[in-house]
Structure formats: C-alpha cells, structure tokens
C-alpha cells in the first residue's frame, strides 16, 4: 500500500466499504467522547470522518492531537449506520476505522482558526496567509481564479491568439504610474523598470507580424491600493490584434469575456454580446462616471434649461455663470420618511456640496423644498426630461460640469443602493468608447494625454493639426461590468508622423519622444500594421465572479494597503555589501524610516 495515501479525503463512498485504505491530511476537527474519538481529516479534495475508540492503542496518540496537525491514517472503510450518515459530506456514508496513525507534522495552537468562516483581522490573515488559504472561502477563490485563467487561455487560443512572454526587467516608461525600479549591478547608476504593462512589447510583436498576441501578464505599478486595486502588482489578460478596427477588437474579446462569465456566473444573468456601447460624454452625462453600473436603473438628466431664469436664484445665477444642473430621479422615494431626505442632504454636504435640493412628484402636484420655484411649465419640462412619475423624487445638483457630473454620479449610486434598485444577481457589461484624447490639467493649464498616449486619435493627423485638442476623441475604450472598470484598450497609433504630432500637442518635443519611445517608434518606420487591443484585469474579473468586494480575497499572496508583504517581510532591508555592489547609497528620511512589516 502507498506510504502516504491510497485515496484522497474527498473520495471514499459506500462502494469502498470493506476496503483497507490510507489517507493523509490535516486534522480539521475533533469530537472527543472520552472513549470514542471522531476525527475529521481534511485535504484539498474533501473531508473524511475517521473514528477510533479507547480499545485502540492509538487512542492516546490521537486524543491530544491539535487541530491542523498533519497525519496519515490507515484502516478499513466502514459504512455508517443509517442514523449516523452525514448528508452534508460527500463522504458522509462511510468513515475510516483507524488502525494505523502517523503524526507527520504536529501543529502549534492556531493564530487563526481554519475550520470556521469567522472573521479575523486582515493583518493576522496576511501574516498567516498559508492558514487562511487552507480555509474554505479563500481556498475556493484561488481555485476559481485558476479555473478562470485556464478558461481564458483556452478561449484565446481557440480564437487564434498566440501566447507570449515578454520581459520583466525592462526600461522605465515616462507616462503613467510610478515604476518599480531595479538597480543594475553592471551599469552603475542605471536602472531597469518592472513593466506597468507589456504595452510596447505587444505592439512590437504586432510589428513583428505575429497578428494575434495574448499573455496572462503581470503588471507592476507603484501606486496606492484600494479595495479593488492591489498595490504593487496585478494580472491582465493582455491581448493585441493586427489589421483591426475597434469593432474587430470588440467582436474578438466579447465572446471570451461573455463566455467566461457564463461559465462561472453561478446563476447570475450576464449581458449577452454584443455589449451596449456608451460614448464617454454620454456616460458622464447619464451616469456621472466613466464606469457606469448598469444594474442601477437610474439615469441622470440635464435640466439646466429648467432652472435657467427660474425664481430659484441659487441655481439661476449659477447657470447664468456657466454652471449646469443635473437631475437624479429617485423612483418611489416619496414613500421614504423625511429623515431619508435629511440624511441624503447631510451626506451631500459631507461630499462638499452646499446641499441637495429635490422635488417630490405626488398626486397634488410637486412638493419638496424646490417645488415652489418651479412653475407648471418648468415642472412639465422637468418631468419630460427625467421621466419622473407620481411617487418619484428628483434630486438636483448644480455646479460646473465636471463637479456636477461627479456628484450626480455619486447621488445616483447612493439612491440606487438606498432604494434597493440595484439588480441582484447580474453581470451587466458595457463598452465606454470615444474617450477624449487630451484633457486640461487644471493646475498647470497644460494639455495632457487623458489616457494612453499610444492611442490613435480619431480624425488622425488632420484632427491633430486643425481641431481644438480638447475636442479630439481617441479610439480608446473601456469594458465596464457592474461599475468596475475591467479593461482598457485602444486602436494604437502606428504612424510615427501622427505620433510625433500627438506628443507635440502634449508638449513633448521630437527628440524627447525619440529618446523615450525610440525602440517602438523606430520599429514603426519599417512597416507597422494598424493594430489594437485591450487588457482585461484578471484579478477584478475573479473578484466579480467570486462575489468578493475586496481584491485581496482572490489573490493568494497579496500585499497590504501599505504595499507590504507581511508573510515574507517585504520590502526588507538589505546588507550594505549588496548596496555597494549596486552602487547605491541610502538617503533616508530622518524619522519614521526602516519600518519592518514583521515588527
């Protein structure tokens, strides 16, 4: 018989009764009756009840075993009496009568309990990640992640994509997030950078004629974490296609994403392909964000004209000065108590707004603080713009356009949640298209790229030379699901002449562009195919499919918000010899330095 196991802990059934088997695993739980001991043995595959009584010489070995000790047991598979069957376990019809027991690895008392889903402090969970990963939820999430990645890979290969690897040690990219830098030993004072994305490499592979690239790509960005953004590193399903338009890219990736979500949706509805397309400007107007959650039925309306010249002077004067007014309908809100409106108003003030005006449409006409300022005509136009019905409330936000969109978007989200309007059990996808190529930096007054500088501007060279830069759109698109930005992509700018011009508008001289992107630019001078792609974020996709709201729940070994790995103690100090070898001298801040994540 095999030394360690003949079967797994999830394998044995009634038909195995009578067989002599050997199992290995962790002591999941013990039920000690004094002269009779039940011991649940757990491995990756399941749990099997093992039993022994005081007639066994092994009883005194088994009884003091602490939870999570690793043991090997052997003995006969015994069918359980009907009353003793556990229908909750796949192995619940049998148990193992222990005749041999070897303690492979005794466990100390646990800092976090494995056999419960009780909550533990995140710091403890990260420090003892190997224990947390044994627990059911995290174990399941990580397996789900693996299956999702396998499914993505299969679907991409079936769609004719070819998997590549690209360098991890590469050059620093001047746009975007901060890079992680790696000092060169051989070249004093010079640094590699970890790639923020394999952007230029995949474009070079297109230029090299490979036609359809993909990679399960690690991306490294030195940016602060969020609940849905792991600091340091994350994974993308990075892909790129040659000789394609935007529609070709959409048609290629939609079935992959839709297929993956259908496969792992667990009963939830999934938007059928083709996904709705929403232009950036429209998304900002109707949803107040460039990543709208379409499970929320509320649509924001522009009602600037309703308040223009109205007797509500706060809005009227602001509108005259160029502000806009947006209306956020709140279906059925008239049934809410007064405190509902007061709380929302207080919340809006916490967000920095002066307040949150509203009207309620009822049978006897309009009520609410702003109702008296709106005559029948204005009220009629308001109802027409918002579609508000009897029993609905409408909230108003008035400010300059960017601020109003941001706040209206938040009000929309909050109302959707408070009024229970969010569609349950659904993955609602959309494309957000036609992002602006440039935006104005309010602080510097300068024009900057609003997204990827390698995107092709709509209208090409012609637009760059003659149009107002702030009106130029890019062939730049995002995939959004349930309000989460899953993917960002673009049709790339493969024309050096257009690229020089595009960068010139953002204040980059020809030499600077040449110095920074020379590798890719030169390649484009030797015959580059029109190409484009995107890069769905794998961690976020798994997070959505796992029903998690925190991305660390789907990453095996995540860092905390301070970008520390509490298990491995990274980042950590290095001996002076290593610094010398790398030609580095430290210039540490006077206090607060040298924080050790292990304390």
b/e sequence 160-184, b meaning 16+ C-beta within 10 Å: ebeebebeeebeebebeeebbeebe
Residue entry with tokens 């002066």:
354
Answer for which of 17, 58, 70, 89 binds RNA (CB under 7 A) is 89
CA distance 566 to 231: 14
In the range 231-270, which residues lie near RNA by CB under 7 A? none
Q: Applying CB under 7 A, does 452 fall inside the site for RNA? A: yes
Give the one residue of 8, 20, 86, 171 binding RNA; rule: CB under 7 A: 86
Shortest CB 45 distance to RNA, Å: 17
Residue 224 binds RNA (CB under 7 A)? yes
Site for RNA in 528-547 (CB under 7 A): none
To RNA, the closest distance from the beta carbon of 242 in angstroms equals 18
Q: Is residue 461 a contact residue for RNA (CB under 7 A)? A: no
CA dist., res. 138 & res. 144, Å (int): 10
- Does residue 173 interact with RNA by CB under 7 A? yes
Per the rule left: phi > 0, alpha: psi between -120 and 50, beta: everything else, 322 is: left
Task: Choose one: 60-68, 265-273, 362-370, 536-544; the region binding RNA (CB under 7 A).
Answer: 60-68
Cβ atoms < 10 Å from Cβ of 559: 22
Strands 70-79 and 94-105: antiparallel
SS3 label, residue 395: strand
Q: Report if residue 51 touches RNA, rule: CB under 7 A.
A: yes
Nearer to RNA, 374 or 474 (CB): 474
- Identify the residue among 562, 572, 576, 581 touching RNA (CB under 7 A): 562
Least Cβ distance, residue 353 to RNA (angstroms): 14
Q: Which of these segments, 169-177, 244-252, 330-338, 339-347, binds RNA (CB under 7 A)?
A: 169-177
CB atoms within 10 A of CB 426: 15
Give the one residue of 62, 71, 95, 538 binding RNA; rule: CB under 7 A. 95
C-alpha torsion angle, residues 534, 540, 542, 548 (rounded to 10): -160
Residues between 392 and 451 with contacts to RNA, criterion CB under 7 A: 448-451
Q: Please report how close the Cβ of residue 238 comes to RNA at its closest, in angstroms.
A: 10
Show Cβ contacts of residue 83 under 8 Å, excluding neighbours closer than 6 positions: none
State the sign of the Cα–Cα–Cα–Cα dihedral 284, 402, 374, 363. Answer: positive
Query: Contact between 76 and RNA (CB under 7 A)?
Result: no
Q: Which residues of 314-346 are buried (b: 16+ CB within 10 A; e: fewer)?
A: ebbebbeeebbbbbbbbbebbebeeebbeebbe
Radius of gyration of the chain (CA): 30
- If you write DSSP's letter for every residue of 186-221 in order, what string do you get? SSTT-EEE--SSSHHHHHHHHHTT--EEEEEEEEEE
Based on the shown chain and the rule CB under 7 A, indicate whether residue 296 belongs to the binding site for RNA: no
CA gap 392, 329 in Å, rounded: 7
3 state SS of 411 = helix
The verdict on 273 binding RNA (CB under 7 A) reads no
Beta bridge partners, 365, equal 362
Q: Which of 228, 240, 293, 399 forms a contact with RNA (CB under 7 A)?
A: 228
**Is residue 550 a contact residue for RNA (CB under 7 A)?**
yes
Residue whose CB is less far from RNA, 88 or 338: 88
Q: Does 175 bind RNA (CB under 7 A)?
A: yes
Residues numbered 578 to 597 that lie near RNA (CB under 7 A) are: 592, 595
From 36-44, 244-252, 366-374, 574-582, span contacting RNA (CB under 7 A) = 36-44
Of 145 and 378, which CB lies nearer to RNA in the complex structure? 145
Query: Which residue intervals of 365-495 are DSSP H helices?
Result: 376-386, 401-418, 460-466
SS3 of 486-534? EEEEEEECCCHHHHHHHHHHCCCCHHHHHHHHHHHHHHHCCCCCCEEEE
Position 111 contacts RNA (CB under 7 A):
yes
Q: Binding residue for RNA (CB under 7 A) from 259, 368, 453, 537?
A: 453
Which one among 10, 11, 20, 29 touches RNA, defined by CB under 7 A? 29
Report the SS3 class of residue 3: coil
Dihedral of CA 64/65/67/73: which sign? negative
Residue owning tokens 């935007």: 246
Measured from the CB atom, the residue of 84 and 320 that comes closer to RNA is 84
Cα–Cα dist 314/540, whole Å: 42
Give min distance, CB of 344 to RNA, in A: 17
CA distance 247 to 491: 10
60 binds RNA (CB under 7 A): no
- By rule CB under 7 A, what count of residues binds RNA? 73
Interface positions, 483-512, toward RNA (CB under 7 A): 488
Is residue 454 at the binding interface for RNA, with CB under 7 A as the rule?
Answer: yes
Q: Tell me if 64 contacts RNA by CB under 7 A.
A: yes
- Nearest residue (CB) to RNA, 124 versus 336: 124
Q: Which stretch binds RNA (CB under 7 A): 52-60, 254-262, 265-273, 310-318?
A: 52-60
Residues in region 118-137 near RNA by CB under 7 A: 118-124
Report the 10 Å Cβ neighbour count for 21.
Answer: 20
Output the smallest distance, CB 169 to RNA, in A. Answer: 17
Closer to RNA at the Cβ: 302 or 548?
548
One DSSP character per residue, 232-289 reads EEEEEEEEEEES--HHHHHHHHHHHHHHHHHHH-TT-EEPPSSPPEEEHHHHHHHHSS
176 in contact with RNA (CB under 7 A):
yes
Contact status: 171 vs RNA (CB under 7 A): no
Query: Residues 182 to 211: which contact RNA by CB under 7 A?
Result: 196-197, 199
Tokens coding 52? 């022994």
- From the list 561, 569, 579, 584, which residue makes contact with RNA (rule: CB under 7 A)? 561
Q: For residue 226, state whether it binds RNA (rule: CB under 7 A).
A: yes
Site for RNA in 137-166 (CB under 7 A): none
Instruction: Name the minimum Å distance from CB 67 to RNA.
Output: 5
In angstroms, give the least distance from the CB of 290 to RNA.
10
């Amino acid at each position: 018989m095999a030394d360690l196991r003949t079967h797994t802990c999830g394998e044995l059934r009634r038909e195995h009764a009578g067989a002599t088997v050997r199992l290995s695993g962790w002591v999941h739980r013990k039920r000690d009756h004094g002269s009779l001991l039940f011991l649940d043995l757990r491995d990756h595959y399941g749990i099997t009840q093992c039993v022994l009584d005081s007639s066994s010489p092994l009883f005194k070995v088994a009884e003091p075993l602490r939870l999570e000790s690793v043991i090997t047991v052997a003995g006969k598979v015994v069918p359980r009496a009907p009353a003793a069957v556990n229908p909750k376990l796949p192995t619940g019809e049998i148990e193992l009568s222990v005749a041999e027991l070897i303690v492979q690895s005794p466990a100390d008392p646990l800092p976090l309990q494995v056999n419960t889903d009780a909550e533990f402090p995140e710091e403890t969970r990260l420090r003892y990640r190997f224990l947390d990963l044994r627990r059911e939820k995290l174990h399941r999430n990580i397996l789900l992640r693996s299956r999702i990645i396998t499914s993505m890979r299969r679907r991409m290969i079936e769609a004719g994509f070819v998997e590549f690897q690209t360098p991890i040690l590469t050059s620093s990219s001047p746009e975007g997030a901060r890079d992680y830098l790696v000092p060169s030993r051989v070249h004093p004072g010079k640094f590699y950078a970890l790639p923020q994305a394999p952007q230029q490499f995949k474009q070079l592979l297109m230029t090299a004629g490979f036609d359809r690239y993909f990679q399960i790509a690690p991306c490294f960005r030195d940016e602060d974490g969020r609940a849905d953004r792991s600091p340091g590193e994350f994974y993308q399903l990075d892909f790129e296609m040659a000789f394609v338009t935007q529609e070709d890219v959409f048609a290629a990736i939609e079935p992959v994403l839709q297929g993956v979500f259908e496969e792992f949706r667990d009963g939830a509805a999934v938007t059928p392909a083709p996904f709705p397309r929403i232009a950036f400007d429209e998304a900002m107007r109707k949803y107040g964000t460039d990543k709208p959650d379409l499970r929320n039925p509320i649509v924001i309306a522009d009602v600037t004209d309703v308040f223009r010249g109205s007797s509500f002077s706060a809005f009227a004067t602001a509108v005259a000065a160029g502000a806009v007014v947006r209306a956020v309908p709140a279906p059925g809100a008239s049934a809410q108590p007064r405190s509902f409106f007061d709380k929302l108003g207080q919340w809006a003030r916490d967000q920095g707004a002066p307040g949150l005006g509203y009207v309620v449409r009822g049978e006897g006409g309009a009520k609410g603080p702003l109702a008296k300022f709106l005559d029948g005509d204005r009220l009629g136009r308001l109802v027409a713009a918002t579609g508000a019905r009897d029993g609905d409330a409408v909230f108003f936000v008035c400010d300059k356009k960017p601020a109003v969109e941001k706040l209206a978007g938040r009000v929309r989200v909050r109302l959707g949640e408070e009024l229970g309007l969010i569609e349950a059990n659904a993955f609602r996808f959309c494309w957000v298209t036609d992002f602006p190529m440039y935006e104005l930096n309010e602080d510097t007054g300068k024009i900057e790229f609003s997204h990827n500088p390698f995107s092709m501007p709509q209208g090409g060279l012609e637009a760059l030379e003659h149009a107002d830069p702030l009106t130029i759109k890019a062939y730049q698109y995002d995939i959004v699901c349930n309000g989460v930005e899953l993917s960002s992509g673009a049709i790339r700018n493969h024309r050096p002449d257009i690229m020089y011009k595009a960068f010139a508008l953002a204040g980059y001289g020809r030499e600077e562009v040449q110095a920074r992107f020379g590798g890719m630019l030169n390649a484009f001078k030797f015959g580059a195919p029109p190409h484009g792609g995107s890069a769905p974020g794998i961690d976020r996709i798994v997070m959505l499919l796992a029903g998690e709201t925190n991305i660390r729940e789907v990453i095996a070994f995540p860092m905390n918000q301070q970008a520390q790995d509490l298990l491995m103690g990274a980042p950590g100090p290095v001996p002076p010899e290593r610094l010398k070898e790398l030609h580095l001298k430290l210039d540490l801040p006077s206090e607060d330095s040298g924080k050790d994540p292990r304390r």
